[in-house]
Amino acid sequence: MTSRWFEQPFCEAFPVAHLMRAAFPQCWLRIHALPESKRYAETDAERETVLDRYSRFGTALLGERAPCVVIQSRFNGSARSDALMPGKVWAPIHRVVEDGDEVWDSWMTHTTWDAAALRSLLLAISDDQEAHLAFLSELTECVFIPYDGGADGFSFDSSLLRRLSEAFGPWRSSHPRGL
C-alpha cells in the first residue's frame, strides 16, 4: 500500500498512536468510548455504546466497508497476536524507535472496515485484552486507532478533522488539548 504514513517524516511515529499524536497534533482527533470519560464498560449496554462509537467514528474516518490495512504493533520484541484475526497473513513493516532505545515492531495485513465483523476484536481492545492496532484506509489515508477508553483518529485533511470534531463533539474531551 502506498501512503504518506509510510514515508518520512510520518513513518518515524506511525503507527504508534501516542507518538503520532505528539509528532503530528494537527492530524489528530480523539473521542471517548463512554460518557464522562469512563474507561471500561461494565454492562452489555455500555459495551454496545463502545461498539457504536467505534463503529461510527471508524466509519467516518475510514469509509463504509472501506479496504484497510490493519497494523499490529508490539513493544520491545513482544510477540504478535493472531488470536483475534485468525488466518490473516501478516507482513512486517518498518520499526519505530522511541526515546532512542525503545523499539516498536509492526506487521500489517489487509481487511475491510466492518465494525460488526470486527466486533470481537473491538471488544477485546475496549477491555484492554488487545492493544496497538491501527486501521489505515486505503481510500482516504485516514487512520483509526481504538484503545481502552476511546479512539484516536488521524487525517491529513484538516477540514475533515474539523467536521468530525463538530459531529463527534459530545464524545470529545473538554480538555484544551483534546486528551
Q: Note the pLDDT tens digit of each residue in 92-151.
A: 998 898 877 889 999 999 999 999 999 999 999 999 999 999 999 999 999 999 999 999
DSSP state for residue 113 in the 8-state scheme: -
In this prediction the pTM is 0.94
The predicted-structure confidence for 22-55, as pLDDT tens digits, reads as follows 999 999 999 999 998 899 999 999 999 999 999 9
- Cell matching residue 140: 482516504
| The pLDDT value given to residue 101 | 80
Residue 107: strand pairing partners:
72, 92
Mean pLDDT, rounded, for 78-100 = 85
- E strands, the chain, are 28-32, 67-75, 91-92, 96-98, 102-112, 133-137, 143-147, 150-154
Question: Quick one: pLDDT at residue 176?
Answer: 62
The contacts of residue 65 (CB under 8 Å, 6+ apart) are 112, 113, 114
Query: What is the pLDDT at residue 81?
Result: 80
Residue 144 backbone phi and psi in degrees, to 5: -120, 120
